[in-house]
Structure 1
């Protein structure tokens, strides 16, 4: 296998992907692309080749992607309308120009519909297909840690967990599982032109209250509140209540070679 490049390696997902790749392939075949290379010194120390690359400086991507066979494009964090798509398209164009054989993209669930926050993923997937590059789309679930970390802090502070989800189920996935799935897709065979819906196991907020009670060794009650009272979760709650997050699937387990982390597993990891 030739060189495998990963963008966004100083972020939470990209860092874990590179760390796992270093255990799967020769370290010299791993290219860690960073906007601030000095922040990736720990990866260089383990043998990865760290290169400068900035989504907002397309010319920098020519050198970053030179000689790369397989590329993981980690979606950018800037959700300002239009910004992320422009960044992604710059990477896609330069990847095609550099002769990258296969592009793996961290997309999101719902990308097939192109609504709301998924619209950027829809546009990026379309651009990749139009280049003719072999590709793998990883439609990642939302990170469990965002939900469970907030609930854990609330439980510790007040002894309660609140949401406006009306007990509706969510599928989320542990960030580490999504990163390991990406590493498997980068190094495995049979992933050309595949789309994977990487959904975790279903859980509800009332169930989470029970898990936190056992993990903390003290009662944690669940309380339903209004969308306005639910803070950032309130913006997602109508979709949860409508069943938009009520579907799971086997793709994440297939890439991991094991079941994805359960609600209990992720809470335990957060506590650790």
Structure 2
């Protein structure tokens, strides 16, 4: 039995959808009313360790999807509770959705992922680390007034789409040869000027927004999202979807 945590979220639902036709999959959710349809459902709350032990019982493989909690201290506590519960429940193997860079850095948003990776490695449970990038779904460029506007300095983004990352997770959960591996699932590198050229529209740099997206744009301008890796293509067994192909398909429809 494969157990998927946070199965009511966008990524969790996609993973369950891909596993359901060919594997015995159980969805673990905090709110059963929001659970995916067509699969067994168990209650599991990252803030309730006892519920996690019960939810993970009998799992041959577990997908531990990271908590959406923003406070790193609380997020770490939630993840460590889940890792401990997996070990206590005798889970056969765990795959954890980490983030690119968490293997070597504990700075900023990587703090919780770095701590969780260390806990997973120390748990004694066979594991696979899935280091995801930012989701490309949130970065699809939109033409405004006949122009493509951005504040990324023309630098590259290694985003990947949830659909590909969900398929990669499902492949790891059902396939062999992944235990003990840490995959850097960077997507195909793309830039806003390249997308503008593909669309046949001008590209113009504009001042960046404030808030989280402004911070991300600053990271892009600094080249922090230009890490490359062939791991996503390797796990998928095919090329990952590119941003240009997604934009062109969107324009055609």
**TM-score scaled by length of structure 1:** 0.86
Q: CA deviation at 1:233?
A: 3.1
Aligned-residue CA RMSD in angstroms?
1.8
Instruction: Judge conservation of contact 1:107–1:121 (CA < 8 Å) in 2.
Output: yes
- 1:260-271 equivalences under 5 Å are 260-268=240-248
Do structure 1's residue 133 and structure 2's residue 125 form an aligned pair? yes
Structure-1 separation of matches of 2:109 and 2:202: 31
Structure-1 separation of matches of 2:88 and 2:123: 10
User: Match for residue 109 of structure 1?
Assistant: 100
User: Match for residue 197 of structure 2?
Assistant: 210
SS for the counterpart of 1:176 is helix
User: Match for residue 85 of structure 2?
Assistant: 94
Instruction: Judge conservation of contact 1:163–1:230 (CA < 8 Å) in 2.
Output: no
Q: CA deviation at 1:222?
A: 1.7
- 1:143-162 equivalences under 5 Å are 143-148=135-140, 151-152=141-142, 155=143, 157-162=144-149
User: Match for residue 169 of structure 2?
Assistant: 182
Structure-1 separation of matches of 2:14 and 2:28: 13
User: Match for residue 5 of structure 1?
Assistant: 3
Q: CA deviation at 1:115?
A: 1.6
SS for the counterpart of 1:118 is helix
**TM-score scaled by length of structure 2:** 0.93
Gaps of 5+ in 2: none
Q: How many residues align?
A: 251
Structure-2 separation of matches of 1:70 and 1:20: 15
Structure-2 separation of matches of 1:65 and 1:16: 20
Instruction: Judge conservation of contact 2:27–2:36 (CA < 8 Å) in 1.
Output: no
Structure-2 separation of matches of 1:68 and 1:74: 15
